[in-house]
């Protein structure tokens, strides 16, 4: 179903890391190495389950809020440098660009909402290769508090110019689901970040799909299709 151009505006808000670009395990490895260089032993599984948070919240969760924070900048910089070595080969997930283009063709305002820095977002946008479908984007540089705080999702709503009831958020982590819920937006979750379906559903995801390609194939029967048909929450 393709709505008419005069259909009330709707926003499709997308996380990027792990949702549109296959980066989560690269982040896990490079964070692990950054911690190792700083003398910290952090389990890879704990890092993996913290991805999707802003850097300050990730460090709080993994190293403790009462730690000496003098070394935080060095750890973050090490992660950034290690991760940057992959910039020229970041892979978009199957169907990512096609999904964004189909939603734009249905007159959804596609907005990217990420906790990543603007420099990383630019690289991921090149990997996706669908800038023609993207209405706007917001990065971790644009908000004071990152996920799971609602600030990034609220910023995405502002960029789209639509209320929460006319938007859906697509993410791959528990923190994406929680940030969306706190902003009053339903979240469609993908399994591409390596988080179990049960965890995403328990966090409040209204639907779970394997990857962007599967969501695209099921679009008419998904929460996107229901909003296309005028079913507002």
Q: How confident is the model at residue 143 (pLDDT cuts 50, 70, 90)?
A: confident
- Taking CA atoms, 65 is separated from 41, 69, 99, 141, in Å, by 16, 9, 39, 22
Quick one: angle between helices 151-160 and 174-182, nearest 10?
60
- CATH no. of 10-23+91-228: 3.40.50.1000
- Residue 122: pLDDT band with limits 50, 70, 90: very high
Nearest-Å Rg of the Cα atoms of the chain is: 17
Report how far Cα 33 is from the mean position of its chain's Cα atoms: 23
Mean pLDDT of the chain, nearest integer: 94
Name residue 134's beta-bridge partners.
110
Q: How confident is the model at residue 66 (pLDDT cuts 50, 70, 90)?
A: very high
In the chain, where does the domain assigned CATH 3.40.50.1000 lie? 10-23+91-228
Tokens 């950054």 belong to residue:
34
Mean pLDDT of 106-124: 95
Residue 2 in this model has a pLDDT that exceeds 60: no
CATH architecture of 24-85: Orthogonal Bundle (1.10)
Indicate whether 4 pLDDT > 70.
no
Write out the residue limits of the CATH 1.10.150 domain(s) in the chain: 24-85
Using DSSP's 3-state secondary structure scheme, residue 32 falls into: helix
The model's pTM: 0.94
Average pLDDT rounded to a whole number, residues 97-117: 96
Distance of CA 183 to the CA centre of its chain: 14
Of how many residues is the chain composed? 233
Is 5 a residue whose pLDDT tops 60? no
Q: Quick one: average pLDDT of 198-207?
A: 98
Phi-psi region at 15: left, alpha or beta (left = phi > 0; alpha = psi -120 to 50): beta
- List the end-to-end C-alpha distance of the chain, in Å, as a whole number: 19
């Amino acid at each position: 179903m393709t709505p008419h151009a005069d259909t009330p505006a709707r926003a499709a808000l997308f996380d990027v890391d792990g949702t549109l670009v296959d980066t989560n395990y690269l982040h896990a490895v490079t964070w692990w190495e950054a911690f190792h260089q700083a003398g910290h032993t952090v389990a890879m599984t704990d890092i993996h389950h913290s991805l999707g948070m802003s850097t300050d919240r990730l460090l709080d969760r993994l190293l403790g809020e009462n730690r000496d924070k003098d070394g935080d900048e060095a750890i973050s910089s090490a992660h950034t440098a290690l991760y940057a070595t992959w910039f020229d080969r970041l892979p978009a997930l199957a169907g990512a660009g096609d999904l964004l283009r189909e939603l734009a063709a249905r007159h959804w305002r596609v907005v990217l909402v990420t906790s990543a820095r603007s420099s990383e977002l630019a690289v991921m946008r090149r990997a996706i290769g669908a800038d023609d479908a993207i209405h706007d984007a917001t990065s971790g540089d644009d908000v004071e508090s990152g996920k799971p705080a609602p600030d990034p999702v609220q910023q995405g709503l502002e960029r789209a110019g639509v209320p929460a009831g006319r938007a859906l958020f697509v993410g791959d982590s528990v923190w994406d689901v929680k940030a969306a819920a706190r902003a009053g937006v339903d979240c469609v979750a993908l399994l591409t970040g390596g988080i179990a379906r049960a965890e995403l559903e328990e966090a409040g995801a209204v639907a779970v799909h394997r990857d962007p390609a599967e969501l695209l194939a099921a679009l008419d029967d998904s929460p996107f299709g229901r909003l296309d048909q005028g079913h507002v929450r």
